[in-house]
């Protein structure tokens, strides 16, 4: 018997394709002219004019059941239920006669917290994206799949800001009460992925007392798990893809009483200027059948891709199943972490390449979520680096107040004796434009030393600005870069830059002072330069 979407209010006369496999979705993509097939097998999609997320266009329905717990503000914009209902009705009418693609999937590799989801899209490539990024159930279970959350994704349908209450024609609207997500006005695939992550960030802490995290995770030969927090551009995906360790996941995880688990079934890597030598695993995936490349430049004649060309966007992406990583943990689960790495790309050149954190410092830096954008790389930026703070290294995806996630993290650090490290993948010897970027092989060597316990036998010194403990030596790394002040040719200029960055941290942290103890709020209180 033919299946339909009547339970979702969709009564299209067009064809409905349920859970198409990757080859069949390729055929549909080509038939519909949605993208180009590239040499080696990936499919290349152009999502212009929207080549990244639209954070100002994400809304959460303001209903009585969630009103008092949502972290309302610049991240989570409220939308009235009646606005949602009106837009939803128009969207359903718009779908009449449309050809649609459905993927039934799961979010969450842990059977204890697995969320059944359904992604309904008007494009075949978004269906392939969902199939790649989420966890596909066995074929035998697909007919009995009952979604707990549904995504209706219609890139060609635009909102009417005046009547719908949106900020533009783009909308990503999460209705927690009705367990429904509406996406329109944008073809960028990341909106689907991050909308589901936002839902998991709501469900896991509140219903399962599990910590949801914007992080990558891997595991060593001895079963030692490490997790890597970090914003885009800090090296989270690159550094967790370590050939000496097995990858649990590259972006979203949960941590419960039994250990960590991947929320996704795939990877979504930023691939601009990707190096085959330094990042071989990810590079191989960009040339493989089943991979979706977003906004990567392709020669229309030879069909060869150019990963170095940023003419469409700096935010070029590859979406692929984690099964394409040869040393991935297929179960998507691991034990409790032994180490936490907090990554930052400090374009001020102030923070050390690696530092050991106390639990209180870990809380402070987790809530701060610091990195720095480079001056001149974005419209509106000057020539100087711009400090960026994103709570929990993922503020755009947090429906609850950051303190909720921070307290869960603190409990788990204390309960499992986790070691915490701050790693700067940014600049040394001066700020951007003066100093030089810390070499990735040096960063890998420092992380290897931290995970192996090498620093246990090495003395540390404390720097006076952030009060961080810095190792005095690391195998394979020049000793002169470990203490950042020593790497500057003019130490006084370093002191000025460090004092400025401390002030920016303190200013940002004022918003959290009422939600943490004095031990965390006072992490920088002893510095003489605040």
Q: What pLDDT is attached to residue 374?
A: 62
Task: Determine whether 214 is an active site residue.
Answer: yes
Write out pLDDT tens, residues 239-262: 998 889 999 999 999 999 999 999
- Residue whose token pair is 């374009």: 347
pLDDT at 528 over 50: no
Residue range 336-521 forms a domain whose CATH class is alpha beta
Write out pLDDT tens, residues 60-75: 999 999 999 999 999 9
Q: What is the DSSP string of 265-288?
A: SEEEEE-TT--TTT-HHHHHHTTS
Write out pLDDT tens, residues 132-159: 999 998 887 777 889 999 999 999 999 9
pLDDT at 317 over 80: yes
Average confidence score pLDDT of the chain: 94
Mean pLDDT of 33-48: 97
Task: Determine whether 194 is an active site residue.
Answer: yes
Of 51 and 529, more confident: 51
Task: Determine whether 317 is an active site residue.
Answer: yes
Single out the catalytic residue among 50, 58, 77, 236: 236
Task: Determine whether 193 is an active site residue.
Answer: no
Task: Determine whether 251 is an active site residue.
Answer: yes
Write out pLDDT tens, residues 474-505: 999 999 999 999 999 999 999 999 999 999 99
Single out the catalytic residue among 50, 77, 317, 412: 317
pLDDT at 117 over 80: yes
pLDDT at 376 over 60: no
Q: Are the beta carbons of 30 and 37 closer than 8 angstroms?
A: yes
Find all residues with CB under 8 Å of 490, minimum gap 6, and list them.
none
- Residue whose token pair is 């690159």: 238
pLDDT at 473 over 50: yes
Find all residues with CB under 8 Å of 216, minimum gap 6, and list them.
227, 228, 236, 237, 239, 240, 247, 248, 249, 250, 251, 253
Q: What pLDDT is attached to residue 243?
A: 87
Alpha-carbon distance 525 to 530, whole Å? 8
Write out pLDDT tens, residues 93-108: 999 999 999 999 999 9
Domain ranges of the chain: 8-35+52-208, 268-324, 336-521
Q: Are the beta carbons of 337 and 217 closer than 8 angstroms?
A: yes
Cis link prior to 174 (omega < 30° from 0)? no
Alpha-carbon distance 460 to 100, whole Å? 59
Find all residues with CB under 8 Å of 98, minimum gap 6, and list them.
12, 14, 122
Single out the catalytic residue among 77, 214, 253, 444: 214
Single out the catalytic residue among 12, 232, 388, 454: 232
Q: How does residue 2 score in pLDDT terms, banded at 50, 70 and 90?
A: low
Q: Are the beta carbons of 112 and 203 closer than 8 angstroms?
A: no
Token duo for residue 245: 């360790």
Q: What pLDDT is attached to residue 141?
A: 77
Alpha-carbon distance 509 to 366, whole Å? 11
Alpha-carbon distance 467 to 208, whole Å? 36
- Residue whose token pair is 């090495």: 458
pLDDT at 277 over 90: no
Mean pLDDT of 411-429: 97
Q: Are the beta carbons of 189 and 131 closer than 8 angstroms?
A: no
Mean pLDDT of 117-131: 98
Selecting from 2.170.8.10, 1.10.357.10, 3.40.50.150, 2.60.40.1180, what CATH number does the domain 268-324 have? 2.170.8.10
pLDDT at 375 over 80: no
Q: What are the b/e assignments for 223-262, b being 16+ CB within 10 Å?
A: ebbbbbbbbbbbbbbbbbbbeebbbbbbbbbbbbeebbbb
Write out pLDDT tens, residues 181-200: 999 999 999 999 999 999 99
Find all residues with CB under 8 Å of 23, minimum gap 6, and list them.
none
pLDDT at 116 over 90: yes
Single out the catalytic residue among 113, 194, 365, 485: 194
pLDDT at 513 over 50: yes
Alpha-carbon distance 447 to 240, whole Å? 10
Single out the catalytic residue among 47, 50, 53, 256: 53
What percent of the chain lies above the pLDDT cut of 70?
A: 97
Single out the catalytic residue among 104, 251, 256, 346: 251
Strand positions, DSSP E, 62-165: 77-79, 100-107, 115-121, 149-154
**One fold for 8-35+52-208 and 268-324:** no
pLDDT at 529 over 50: no
Single out the catalytic residue among 66, 123, 166, 237: 237
Q: What pLDDT is attached to residue 489?
A: 95
Q: What pLDDT is attached to residue 238?
A: 86
Q: What pLDDT is attached to residue 212?
A: 98
Q: How does residue 530 score in pLDDT terms, banded at 50, 70 and 90?
A: very low
Q: What pLDDT is attached to residue 384?
A: 66
Q: What pLDDT is attached to residue 159?
A: 98
- Residue 406: phi and psi, rounded to 5, are -65, -40
Task: Determine whether 253 is an active site residue.
Answer: no
Fold entry, domain 8-35+52-208: Phosphoenolpyruvate Carboxykinase; domain 1 (3.40.449)
Coil vs helix vs strand at 301: coil
Cβ-count burial of 206 within 10 angstroms (0-12 exposed, 13-18 middle, 19+ buried)?
middle
């Amino acid at each position: 018997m033919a299946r339909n979407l009547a339970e979702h209010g969709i009564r299209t006369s067009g064809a409905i394709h349920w859970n198409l496999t990757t080859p069949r979705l390729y055929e549909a993509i080509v038939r519909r002219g949605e993208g180009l097939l590239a040499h080696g097998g990936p499919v290349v999609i152009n999502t212009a004019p929207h080549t990244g997320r639209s954070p100002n266009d994400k809304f959460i329905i303001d209903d009585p059941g969630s009103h008092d717990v949502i972290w309302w503000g610049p991240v989570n914009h409220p939308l009235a239920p009646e606005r949602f209902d009106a837009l939803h009705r128009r969207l359903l009418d718009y779908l009449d006669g449309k050809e649609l693609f459905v993927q039934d999937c799961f979010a969450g590799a842990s059977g204890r917290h697995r969320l059944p989801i359904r992604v309904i899209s008007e494009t075949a490539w978004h269906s392939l994206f969902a199939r790649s990024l989420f966890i596909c159930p066995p074929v035998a279970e697909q007919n009995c799949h009952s979604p707990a959350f549904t995504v209706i994704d219609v890139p060609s349908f635009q909102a009417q800001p005046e009547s719908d209450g949106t900020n533009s024609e783009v909308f990503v609207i999460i209705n927690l009460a009705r367990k429904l997500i509406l996406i329109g006005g944008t073809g960028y695939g990341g909106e689907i992925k991050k909308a589901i992550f936002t839902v998991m960030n709501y469900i896991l802490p509140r219903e399962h007392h599990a910590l949801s995290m914007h992080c990558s995770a891997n595991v060593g030969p001895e079963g030692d798990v490490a997790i890597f927090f970090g914003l885009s551009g800090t090296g989270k995906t690159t550094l967790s893809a370590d050939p000496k360790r097995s990858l649990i996941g590259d972006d979203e995880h949960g941590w419960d009483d039994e250990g960590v688990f991947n929320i996704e079934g795939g990877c979504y890597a930023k691939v601009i200027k990707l190096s085959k030598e330094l990042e071989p695993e990810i590079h191989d995936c960009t040339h493989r059948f089943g991979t979706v490349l977003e906004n990567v430049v392709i020669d229309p004649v030879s069909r060869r891709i150019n990963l170095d060309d940023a003419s469409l966007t700096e935010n070029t992406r590859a979406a692929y199943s984690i099964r394409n990583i040869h040393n991935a943990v297929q179960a998507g689960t691991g034990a409790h972490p032994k180490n936490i790495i907090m990554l930052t790309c400090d374009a001020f050149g102030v923070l050390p390449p690696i530092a050991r954190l106390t639990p209180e410092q870990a809380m402070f830096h987790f809530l701060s979520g610091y990195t720095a954008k480079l001056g001149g790389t974005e419209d509106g930026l000057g020539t100087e680096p711009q400090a960026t703070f994103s709570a929990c290294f993922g503020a755009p995806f947090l429906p609850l107040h950051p303190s909720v996630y921070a307290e869960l993290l603190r409990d788990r650090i204390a309960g499992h004796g986790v070691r915490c490290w701050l790693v700067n993948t940014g600049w040394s010897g001066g700020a951007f434009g003066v100093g030089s970027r810390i070499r990735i092989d040096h960063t890998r060597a420092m992380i290897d030393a931290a995970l192996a316990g090498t620093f246990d036998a090495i003395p540390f010194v404390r720097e006076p600005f952030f009060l961080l403990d810095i190792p005095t030596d690391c195998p394979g790394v020049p000793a002169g870069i470990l203490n950042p002040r020593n790497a500057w040719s003019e130490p006084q200029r370093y002191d000025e830059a460090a004092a400025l960055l401390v002030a920016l941290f303190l200013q940002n942290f004022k918003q959290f002072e009422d939600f943490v103890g004095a031990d965390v709020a006072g992490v920088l209180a002893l510095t003489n330069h605040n």
